[in-house]
Amino acid sequence: MMFWRFVLRAVELRKKRLLLAFSALAVAATLATALFSIYSDIERKMRVEFRGYGANIIIAPEGGGETVPLAAVAEAERQGAVAAAFVYTVGRLGGEPVVVAGIDFQRAGPLTDYWRVEGARVAGSGECLVGSTVAAHFRLRAGQQAQLQDAPCAIRGIVSSGGPEDAQVLLPFAAAEKLAGLHDAASVVEVRADGERVTAVKAALVKALPGTDVRLLHAVAETEANVVLKIRSTLFLLTALILGITTLCVTGNFSALVLERSKEIGILKAIGAADRKIAALFLSESLILGLASAVTGYGLGLLVAWCIGRQIFPGSAGTGVGVNYGVFLPVAGVTLAVAMVATLAAAARIWRIRTAVILRGE
């Protein structure tokens, strides 16, 4: 008990001086928590961003066939992916041929985020969207009627994407299927699987859908994997760097704390205190400091990670944004370890010197 009274009194008396060491360690703990939180979550966040690209797997007809069975969509969804069927045929508008695309607007929504649309993004029964090139060619606008042969429809929106949609009339899947004379089949099925599972999903689809050509879009899958890896590596290296440097700083700080009190150590030894007891004294002080910093740093670090997460990736689920609660143990552990080792090293240096030398003031 006397031991703890000693320690606590020492901490109380040297509050101001200890504040500096505390803040150095707290800053290190804050940074560690924030950086680790972000690092552990960054992959997930970035893969979410890549979803905007749309499909990364295409299911196309194989062999002599021209169509893909609609069952492919259900199969892909069973694998946990987003999938939609598309059917293409040629229709007639104003006496001219025009490409008609049938789209399952509900399912295709997440795959076509990049469309720039004036008007509605979805067309219901008896409605359609037209691509910007088609609109310009036939001088059509939203709200007008498109006199598509066998399937006249009300134009709900104009789509501009820089891709094939610009030259198409987009009908709901059922209407286009009828025009094309198909039943329970699609021209192509587009699939979006999560980046880290894409090869597994592709393999599963190949097995489940013989008679179709399941293609992995190399450009998307590889670029995603590449960029995610590079960002993670950069963050990892930067984190290691910053932490290495702050550890050095903290070590210096804690060593200084002990070295300043060499006279005190000299006196303690002179009145007969055992080396181990002296060490225990200083270590306890460091322990208190270390715990206090770890807790403060953890709290502040989570706050920093949360703020950064909110700023950069808004709209992601609530508090899960960039915050990793599980970081506490490793951060606290490392923080305390650094504090203790530094203290012990410094103390060890001192008590090796002869008491008289210390008291004399060297």
Partner 1 sequence: MFLRFVSESIRRAPRRKAMTVAAVAMGAAVATAMLGVMLDIGDRVNRELRGLGANLIVTPRAASMPVEIGGISYRPVSREDYIPEDQLPKIKSTFWHLNITGFAPSLKAEAVMGGRKVPVEGVWFLRRLRGPDGAPLEAGLRTVNSAWKVDGQWVDDRARSDAALEAMPGSALARKLGVKPGDTVQLFGQPFLVRGILSTGGEEEDRIFVRLEVLQRLLHRPGQVDAVQVGALTKPEDEFARKDPARMTRAEYDRWYCTPYISSIAHQIEEALPMAVAKPIWRVADNEGKLLGKIRGLMLLVALAALASAGLTVWSVMATTVLERRAEIAVMQATGASNWMVMALFSAEVALEGAVGGLIGSWVGLLLAEWVGRSVFQTSLEIPAMLGPVVVAAAVIASVAGAAQPLRQALALDPAIMLREGQA
**Nearer to partner 1 among residue 241 and residue 348 (C-beta):** 241
- Cα separation, 219 vs 158, in Å, equals 28
Kindly tell me which residue out of 13, 114, 277, 349 binds partner 1, with binding defined by CB under 8 A.
114
Residue type, 31: L
| CA-wise closest residue to 355 among 278, 283, 286, 281 | 278
151 is a contact residue toward partner 1 (CB under 8 A)? no
Structure tokens at 76: 């892909």
Kindly tell me which residue out of 8, 200, 203, 237 binds partner 1, with binding defined by CB under 8 A.
237
108 is a contact residue toward partner 1 (CB under 8 A)? no
**Nearer to partner 1 among residue 213 and residue 275 (C-beta):** 213
Residue 155, strand partner residues:
128
- Cα separation, 52 vs 56, in Å, equals 11
Kindly tell me which residue out of 129, 179, 216, 279 binds partner 1, with binding defined by CB under 8 A.
216
| CA-wise closest residue to 128 among 82, 94, 96, 174 | 174
User: Of 75-83, 111-119, 146-154, 275-283, which segment contacts partner 1 by CB under 8 A?
Assistant: 111-119
Residues from 67 through 86 that contact partner 1 (CB under 8 A)? none
- Cα separation, 66 vs 71, in Å, equals 15
User: Of 69-77, 204-212, 240-248, 341-349, which segment contacts partner 1 by CB under 8 A?
Assistant: 240-248
User: Of 43-51, 142-150, 281-289, 327-335, which segment contacts partner 1 by CB under 8 A?
Assistant: 43-51
Tell the smallest beta-carbon distance from residue 115 to partner 1 (Å): 7
Tell the smallest beta-carbon distance from residue 259 to partner 1 (Å): 9
The DSSP 8-state label assigned to residue 121 in this structure reads: S
161 is a contact residue toward partner 1 (CB under 8 A)? yes
167 is a contact residue toward partner 1 (CB under 8 A)? yes
Residues from 119 through 138 that contact partner 1 (CB under 8 A)? 133-134, 136-137
Kindly tell me which residue out of 233, 320, 345, 349 binds partner 1, with binding defined by CB under 8 A.
233
Residues from 282 through 341 that contact partner 1 (CB under 8 A)? 304, 307-308, 311-313
245 is a contact residue toward partner 1 (CB under 8 A)? yes
The DSSP annotation for 332-358 comes to: HHHHHHHHHHHHHHHHHHHHHS-HHHH
**Nearer to partner 1 among residue 54 and residue 69 (C-beta):** 54
Kindly tell me which residue out of 162, 320, 326, 333 binds partner 1, with binding defined by CB under 8 A.
162
User: Of 20-28, 67-75, 170-178, 343-351, which segment contacts partner 1 by CB under 8 A?
Assistant: 20-28
- Cα separation, 217 vs 208, in Å, equals 19
Counting Cβ atoms within 10 Å, is residue 110 exposed (0-12), middle (13-18) or buried (19+)?
middle
Kindly tell me which residue out of 44, 53, 109, 296 binds partner 1, with binding defined by CB under 8 A.
53
Structure tokens at 7: 């320690």
Kindly tell me which residue out of 71, 99, 154, 292 binds partner 1, with binding defined by CB under 8 A.
99
Task: Give the CA angle between residues 263, 266, 271 to the nearest 5°.
Answer: 130
Structure tokens at 228: 């995610």
234 is a contact residue toward partner 1 (CB under 8 A)? yes
Residue type, 347: A
Residue 172: its H or E element:
strand 168-172
Q: What are phi and psi of 140, to 5 degrees?
A: -105, 155
